[in-house]
Structure 1
């Protein structure tokens, strides 16, 4: 009896010691979450959250594909791929990860209810997924697709047993949040964030941080204050207004990296009258002036991008003339910088039949993209100077994303993450002619439609030669530039800040997750 008591005391002291040495991390993040369902919406915040709990078959770290839940893959025919699954992987409830879960995950993406930014573009070429033998899957595609492994690097895999018939609330409560990732959910409060603890059944390297508090803090200044006061350890999307203050404080360190996310204006190509485009007396126009190439060219030329980058974004962005940044896959070096030429813009408006301009409203989310309302206010001033009298409507993201997806706005904005690191990702999602059945144009809120772009996308999808494929994407970039299908503004830099003693290195794109944070 005495030995059992002593053993119990020793075990209790050991547990207390382990708790005392538990590594804890608190992150304040900027992108609100729509759900903890990793397949519901292709939003930046949701994508970061998904990496806590779920894995992909393939990992994409800075354009390098690495094994995930698949250890190897190969192209076995023009339209077939074979994937070998990692053995011994368990879900966080202790049950085995199986081929059945993968097959179910791919099919579920096509029909997740309530999605406003679906992941269907990643699985659009998949015709079927079948088990060849235990642990081996065969993917058959509708067309040759050399980019399939890259596509699958954006597809979180869910457990069939817990996810069938599950709602978003079931994920948020933890009931359906059964993953193979490094963490398990402790609690989640929508609009506030969540707490997690290390997943003891995780197949990979044990996380450095045993417990993580992931707090949603929408206001950039509040995030900076929380870091300086020691309330949090890491913040993302550092405000340009706080940069000098943070860089001058010896208690913290700023980590800035050139990013892939592009800020775009999306003109509406809807031929129907729009209440957000009127003549100078406020009456709706019979024809949408944005359908005229000269009008779109005028609006693009009227913007002084350098002034916006320097004075509003204060050097935290790089000016964009296309959707991919310099030195990325698909960037076209032959596209010239977009000149600021207000006089030429006025001439183009006159040639298009609008010598006195018209009225236009831009819509922008208030709680989504850093400095987006301020940027759009500046754009409105530039457009008003050439006769396009522009108002700005700032609305909450939940309202904005729903209306923008329906092409209700005359001019919308999107900050597209280019998360795969190459040009075809945007071609599929924000530039292709909208076709939900084919998984195309999911975030093409202006409903831009170009046969040239669609043809380039088909060619790029089927081309196995990397050099030829990139040339196709570069040609597509030139085509969109010529047609002013979107109006590029700038590429964000990714800026994090952390308390002294911590190091932040990007994992992929602008995701914010604990594995990025290490100790000096």
Structure 2
């Protein structure tokens, strides 16, 4: 995003909040984040709550701001060579990591060798970058990414998560375990301290290549309980509450407070209840379709989500590349659901377990409604809440879920590939149950296609295949809802939670 555009967007938001935007300010910003990622190493995580913090510590070769436009990051420019099999990056010069170590071509090579090597294999990020065969240093400020095959989303992937550039000497000297909890990057803020389950503190990097931040300090507090986060915002002990903390029911409470505002923007985040397709009654696709048809998702979106979401037919929102507007959700049809259940031999009183994130108040309410709908077609649903990290790092990847389990996915690239490959390809962390050679083939084939229209056709075919197999009960595409104290200025809400705070000020 250009500085002018960012300024205009910030001014518009400030105006909407009834406030003037001062030219300069400084001070400390305190942010409530619902989850401690547990590690600050870019290759260790997929969590949007990691990105909310780490976007301010690390930089990628490219950058994508709230306007979803891709611009230079640590690379000044890039050029495709050899028919797209090689991308040459000209790097910024004079940039240093927070520990004083120089950023250069060697740092880029180290970052991707590490990501694609043994250390990267331990985390969830490597599969997003497997199109990269090697990184070749041309000179100190020029590198080539040599590709095994074209990846039409790679430049966007380089703007976040696993592709954040890390300091070679620091990691070699200190080791991965130290880096996990003492991160060093090139970003606008430097790491100060980290208290697991409590919070992380940052300070301004006055030498930031993009210009020194206007804030002097940023503190993120990990507050998993939504009511506590909102109470802290109301009391002025927190200036900003990040998505997806704020339950829909608390939005009017915040809007009624003259000191506070709600900023809501359409985002990539989608929610679904995915099915155990390997065992139990949900191994039968007829049962999966019946359970989906039994739930009035339209009413859930209108009544529980109060218009802060839209119903989905596949695990993506309408901003996603690969979205198919002609693909419609299974209809709400309790009679049809009962007929399918009977056809599958499911007796009235059959039980299913729904696993959800315990701190997701909105999903808790949605799950209660779903349980009620299922009861009306003769299926008894038990809701089992888990601590989020347990559900995501143990229960789902190990295939230890109940018949249905909540999957909330950021889809931050706004490209269905980033979601679909992780959810449906055999052997992926988020796909503990399903193995489908034909679906694997489709997922793999679209990654090598540079023809935009053909790739979109295949992505739509993938969505239809998933819908036909009823691998999940698609629920809704949520808005990203931020609660903010009006003393915060120049804050631009990001749809993907990757909030860069360089221009933010506080009164």
**TM-score of the aligned structures, taking structure 1 as reference length:** 0.85
Which of residues 111, 125, 143 in structure 2 aligns to 1:137?
Answer: 143
1:478 corresponding residue in structure 2: 464
Residue 396 of structure 2 corresponds to residue 396 of structure 1: no
Q: Within 1, Cα distance between the matches of 2:503 and 2:396? A: 33
Deviation (angstroms), 1:518: 5.2
How far does the alpha carbon of each residue in 1:249-308 deviate from its partner, in whole angstroms, 9 at most, with x for none? 22112111112100011212325xxxxxxxxxxxxxxxx332222111111111111232
How far does the alpha carbon of each residue in 1:350-398 deviate from its partner, in whole angstroms, 9 at most, with x for none? 112224363221211213x452222223222222322222211112123
Contact 2:28–2:216 (Cα < 8 Å) also in 1: yes
Residue 177 of structure 2 corresponds to residue 184 of structure 1: no
Residue 330 of structure 2 corresponds to residue 344 of structure 1: no
- Which secondary structure state, in structure 2, belongs to the residue aligned with residue 164 of structure 1? helix
Identify the range of structure 1 (118-127 vs 497-506) with the bigger mean alpha-carbon deviation.
497-506
Residue 48 of structure 2 corresponds to residue 44 of structure 1: yes
The 1:33–1:149 alpha-carbon spacing in structure 2 relative to 1, beyond 3 Å, is same
Identify the range of structure 1 (247-256 vs 107-116) with the bigger mean alpha-carbon deviation.
107-116
Identify the range of structure 1 (350-359 vs 137-146) with the bigger mean alpha-carbon deviation.
350-359
Which of residues 484, 489, 513 in structure 1 aligns to 2:475?
Answer: 489
Deviation (angstroms), 1:416: 0.4
2:96 corresponding residue in structure 1: 90
Residue 485 of structure 2 corresponds to residue 511 of structure 1: no
1:374 corresponding residue in structure 2: 365
- Which secondary structure state, in structure 2, belongs to the residue aligned with residue 74 of structure 1? strand
1:157 corresponding residue in structure 2: 165
- Which secondary structure state, in structure 1, belongs to the residue aligned with residue 228 of structure 2? helix
Contact 2:98–2:190 (Cα < 8 Å) also in 1: yes
Which of residues 72, 75, 80 in structure 2 aligns to 1:75?
Answer: 80
Which of residues 263, 273, 278 in structure 2 aligns to 1:265?
Answer: 273
Q: Within 2, Cα distance between the matches of 1:123 and 1:495? A: 30
Residue 224 of structure 2 corresponds to residue 200 of structure 1: no
Deviation (angstroms), 1:488: 0.9
RMSD: 2.4
Residue 398 of structure 2 corresponds to residue 406 of structure 1: yes
1:279 corresponding residue in structure 2: none
2:484 corresponding residue in structure 1: 498
2:20 corresponding residue in structure 1: none
Deviation (angstroms), 1:502: 3.0
Q: Within 1, Cα distance between the matches of 2:389 and 2:321? A: 32
5+ residue gaps, structure 1, are 1-19, 272-287, 435-440
User: For residues 107-126 of structure 1, what are the structure 2 equivalents within 5 Å?
Assistant: 107-110=113-116, 118-126=124-132
The 1:114–1:217 alpha-carbon spacing in structure 2 relative to 1, beyond 3 Å, is farther
- Which secondary structure state, in structure 2, belongs to the residue aligned with residue 309 of structure 1? helix
Rg larger for: 1
Which of residues 26, 29, 36 in structure 1 aligns to 2:30?
Answer: 26
How far does the alpha carbon of each residue in 1:321-348 deviate from its partner, in whole angstroms, 9 at most, with x for none? 2122124321101111331111111111
The 1:388–1:115 alpha-carbon spacing in structure 2 relative to 1, beyond 3 Å, is farther
The 1:428–1:165 alpha-carbon spacing in structure 2 relative to 1, beyond 3 Å, is farther
The 1:113–1:378 alpha-carbon spacing in structure 2 relative to 1, beyond 3 Å, is farther
Q: Within 2, Cα distance between the matches of 1:53 and 1:263? A: 28
Residue 178 of structure 2 corresponds to residue 170 of structure 1: yes
Identify the range of structure 1 (88-97 vs 54-63) with the bigger mean alpha-carbon deviation.
54-63
Q: Within 1, Cα distance between the matches of 2:143 and 2:221? A: 38
Task: Give the aligned length.
Answer: 475
Higher relative contact order (CA 8 A, sep 6+): 2
- Which secondary structure state, in structure 2, belongs to the residue aligned with residue 371 of structure 1? helix
How far does the alpha carbon of each residue in 1:116-161 deviate from its partner, in whole angstroms, 9 at most, with x for none? 8611122112111111222221222222323221222222111111
Q: Within 1, Cα distance between the matches of 2:121 and 2:407? A: 17
- Which secondary structure state, in structure 2, belongs to the residue aligned with residue 254 of structure 1? strand
Q: Within 2, Cα distance between the matches of 1:311 and 1:115? A: 43
Residue 306 of structure 2 corresponds to residue 320 of structure 1: no
Residue 322 of structure 2 corresponds to residue 330 of structure 1: yes
Deviation (angstroms), 1:467: 2.8
Contact 1:31–1:44 (Cα < 8 Å) also in 2: no
Which of residues 391, 410, 419 in structure 2 aligns to 1:426?
Answer: 419
The 1:241–1:517 alpha-carbon spacing in structure 2 relative to 1, beyond 3 Å, is farther
Deviation (angstroms), 1:511: 3.0
1:293 corresponding residue in structure 2: 285
The 1:468–1:160 alpha-carbon spacing in structure 2 relative to 1, beyond 3 Å, is same
Deviation (angstroms), 1:517: 4.1
User: For residues 429-444 of structure 1, what are the structure 2 equivalents within 5 Å?
Assistant: 429-434=422-427, 441-444=428-431
Contact 1:427–1:453 (Cα < 8 Å) also in 2: no
The 1:365–1:474 alpha-carbon spacing in structure 2 relative to 1, beyond 3 Å, is same
How far does the alpha carbon of each residue in 1:392-434 deviate from its partner, in whole angstroms, 9 at most, with x for none? 1112123222121111113221100010011111122112222
- Which secondary structure state, in structure 1, belongs to the residue aligned with residue 385 of structure 2? strand
**TM-score of the aligned structures, taking structure 2 as reference length:** 0.87
Deviation (angstroms), 1:486: 2.0
The 1:114–1:77 alpha-carbon spacing in structure 2 relative to 1, beyond 3 Å, is closer
